[in-house]
Chains A and B, each alone.
Chain A
Amino acid sequence: MESEVQRAEMLLAPTMAFKKVQMADKYPKGQSRGRQWKHLRFLLQAADATSLPPDRPNYLNIQSPPSIYPPKRYCDVTGFEAPYVDPRTKLRYADPEVFKQIRNLPDEYVQRYLALRNAAVVLR
């Protein structure tokens, strides 16, 4: 290790004297850690929802419902109010200038703009 790295104490020591179980023992090297955690959130929410009575507050049921206001539509590029939707790219736009701009956008950027409001086409 470089001396400046050592001096900066930027790295976490692999073993800690105050721990009862060291990191290396818990997660042995080269062993798969089990990548199930990607869906863990859903599993956990499902577990909570079934094991708990619905009248008691839990992580799931304290979520806010959708807004009572009708959703406003904003231009995907400029952020201004958007009365129009481009039928080809599905982007919302505020005026003809933005329209010209979005028609020249490469598809990747169109998808990125759509992804901003969670409307991108997701290929599974």
Chain B
Amino acid sequence: MTPVYRPPRETDFARFPASTPIVIDNGASTFRIGWAGEAEPRLAFRNIVQRPRHRSSGETVTVIGDADPALMKYFDCTRTSIRSPFDDDVVFQFEYMEYILDYGFDRLGATSEVDHPILMTECECNPSFSRARMSELLFETYGVPSVAFGIDDAFSYKYNQKLGNCGEDGLAISCEFGTCHVVPFLKGQPVLGACCRTNVGGSHITDFLRQLLSLKYPYHAASVSWDKAEELKKEHCYVAHDYMSELQIFKNNKEEAEEKTRYWQLPWVPPPKDEPPSEEELARKAAIKEKSGQRLRDMAAAKRSQKIEGLEKKLSELEDIMEQLDDSDEIEETAILSRTGYLSQQEVKSDILKVTQSLRKAKGESNGNEENADASGADKYPLVSVPDEMLTPEQLKEKKKQILLKTTTEGRIRAKQRRAEEAALREKQEEERRTENPELYFDELRARYLELSEKVDQRKRQKVNGNNNSSGAVGRGERLNAAQKERMRLLTTAAFDRGKGEDTFGMRDEDWLVYNKMSKENEEDNDGDDDESELARIASKIQEVDPTFVNQHEAAEPAADPHKVRPLTAEDFKIAIGTERFRCPEVLFQPGMIGVDQAGIDEMVSISLRRLVEDESVKERLCQSILVTGGSSLFPGMIPRLEAGIRQFRPYLTPLKLVRASDPILDAWRGAAAFAASREFARQTFTLEDYREHGESLFHRYNIVYTL
């Protein structure tokens, strides 16, 4: 169904005689206007005003009710918001009210004047201030001959009484847009002294839903507009029969909760996928790469040959000099040397050596020095095997050094061998255990694997964020990892520990280990490496037995990258409406949920009955004719919940009957239209003269008598 934004202008305004009243149901959400005696209002629109600026001309215009969003692009709404003449259920913004009435009368087809009596609905106990301003507006601006005000809930009740839904004595529970009312009726008239009002209504439900959804999905907050929330509310919300047990379902019973959850898929276009490049593309890219590589190689080769050329030239020059030097005597020598800029023959020689070396290098031959560097171990320590008597004191010193070096290297080799032997032995033992009891062995392996992986993980975590304090402060202390912190602590305690009693440091050998911890190089401990290699070994062993086994350590590595952005999917654009479906309408029963410290609608019935100064028999009669009306009473499950709620406040086994109004939204207007068509209506109105005579005090006592 496409909404009709602009209702057509009615054309039969002139057809009605001046005595036919115009009936207006001035509801906080919807404004309905029509003719007395008709079955339906001629016109209904949302009771809101927008005053945006026209983009091209810059003038401020007025838009009433809902507007076609496609046309709103011509207007700049940034500096205005949607305005309503209402606060809760009282009209108090008469400038906006005037725009709305303008529009209502205009659409109804008024041309020269609005010369009809007006029946307008209002809330229970409308403040006289509001009545006075409203009648002033109607009399002075529109020239209306006479006006009557009536309560919308009373009209709705009377209309349903006429239809036989409820009796002469009864109660009306009305859940409206801004408020909820309970009004008792005695002999067909509302007892205003006993009615009560809670300032929670449909607008609060919508707002609560909107806020909850935008808090739950901050990225989609812009999508959850007021209108959308209103739509979701009307479509999906329901009243839970027992709120606590309904919550338990959602908390404990995942399947049933899933069944009850509705999803709203926001429009989402999957991002274009990166297709793997075609063969041609790959070939082309490879060719380009090859080409540029070739060019670089060519350049390098040219450079090298140039260098070789230069070096060869220099070498031949130097050789020439050497030859000359060799052939000549001393005097000539100095002359040659001074000419070439060398100091001695030695220098020339060393230069030649240098040049030949770099030439070799340039030509790609291996350097001669490298070969020498790899001397065999035997002649590394030449002095070790020489008896002491044959050595000078210096050589003795050298010998001591060499012996030390030798023993350490040999020790290292021995340790290596021992380790290898141990490993082999362990391997053998394991093999034996494996053949003995393969299952036990496998379990043991797994247990060991888990233990080790836990240890390694923890170490890693400590390394990465030794202190994950939630304060998020980033002082120097926060940036260090746990090991570094420990080191700092040790250093500071060591520095300030002097003079505190007897110094026992060094009494035990373990004390010296503190330096191990303090030294910086020790930061990456070999312990961890051992563990890791052990872990890898065990993992490979398990994998031998169980090919399905996945080494978590290797598998977890790539996923740990925190900067990788997960591509968005349609799932991310899905809005789940679960508990919100019944949590939002619940505010009618528990206004405390949104911070309104008043009784809920079920309790209001008991309050109303308490305020009614009547016998218990009368109250019992009232409870057999309870009418539920108003737009917010349309939630599924409303009537059973209300019934259960009211029963709690009534004596045990007293009869209770609740009826939903035939049309909770339109009945108020229909009842008013029927009332305005009756002959009684003319006696209930007041004119401009009456108003001038009595002023505002007229309204203190003004209450119409409702007739069928």
Contact = CB atoms under 8 A, between A and B. Distances in A.
Given A4-B71, A18-B105, A81-B247, A45 B127 contact: yes
B192 A48 contact: no
A58 interface: yes
B597 interface: yes
B142 A20 contact: yes
B592 interface: yes
Nearest to A47: B129
Contact of B143 (A12, A20, A64, A118): A20
A18 B54 contact: no
Contacts of A18: 105-106, 110-114, 142-143
B111 A17 contact: yes
A44 B94 CA distance: 14
A123 interface: no
B247 A79 contact: yes
A40 interface: yes
Given A1-B54, A4-B71, A40-B92, A62 B579 contact: no
A65 B128 CA distance: 23
Interface in A46-60: 47-48, 51-52, 56-59
A121 interface: no
A51 B90 CA distance: 19
Given A41-B87, A63-B199, A64-B197, A117 B92 contact: no
Given A41-B87, A117-B593, A66 B62 contact: no
A2 to B, nearest CB: 6
A5 B103 CA distance: 16
A20 B62 contact: no
Interface stretch (B488-496, B599-607, B674-682): B599-607
Nearest to B606: A68
A21 interface: yes
Given A11-B63, A109-B215, A57 B195 contact: yes
B125 A64 contact: no
A122 interface: no
A74 B582 CA distance: 14
Nearest to B590: A72
A20 B127 contact: no
A57 B192 contact: yes
A62 B103 contact: no
Contacts of B247: 79-81
B685 interface: no
Choose among B110, B127, B193 the residue with the greatest number of A CB atoms under 10 Å from its CB. Answer: B127
B61 A62 contact: no
Given A12-B64, A118-B594, A58 B71 contact: no
Interface in A74-124: 74, 78-81, 94, 103, 109, 112-113, 116-119
B593 A21 contact: no
A59 B192 CA distance: 10
Interface in A1-35: 1-2, 4-5, 8-14, 16-21, 23, 26-27, 33
Interface in B1-37: 5-6, 9
Given A16-B102, A27-B95, A117-B593, A64 B604 contact: yes
Contact of B244 (A16, A19, A81): A81
Contacts of B71: 4-5, 8, 10
Contacts of B63: 10-12
A10 B45 CA distance: 13
B62 A11 contact: yes
A30 B212 CA distance: 40
A67 B600 contact: yes
B218 interface: yes
B431 to A, nearest CB: 47
A103 B142 contact: no
A67 B599 contact: yes
Contacts of B57: 1
A67 B598 contact: yes
Nearest to A16: B102
Given A19-B141, A81-B247, A65 B596 contact: no
B599 A64 contact: yes
A68 B604 CA distance: 11
Contact of A20 (B61, B141, B590): B141
Given A63-B598, A65-B607, A117-B594, A20 B140 contact: yes
Contacts of A65: 598-599, 607
A77 B488 CA distance: 43
A38 B593 CA distance: 26
A80 B251 contact: yes
A17 B105 CA distance: 11
B129 A48 contact: yes
B196 A63 contact: yes
Nearest to B697: A51
A55 to B, nearest CB: 8
Contacts of B197: 62-64
B142 A19 contact: yes
A39 to B, nearest CB: 11
B579 A67 contact: no
A19 B285 CA distance: 79
A57 B193 contact: yes
11 contacts: A16-B105, A19-B102, A63-B199, A65-B599, A66-B598, A67-B591, A68-B599, A72-B590, A79-B580, A113-B215, A118-B596
Q: Which 7 A-B pairs have the closest CB atoms?
A: A118-B595, A12-B62, A117-B595, A71-B592, A57-B192, A18-B110, A64-B599
Given A16-B106, A16-B110, A71-B592, 8 more contacts: A12-B62, A12-B64, A17-B112, A59-B125, A62-B192, A64-B607, A116-B594, A118-B596
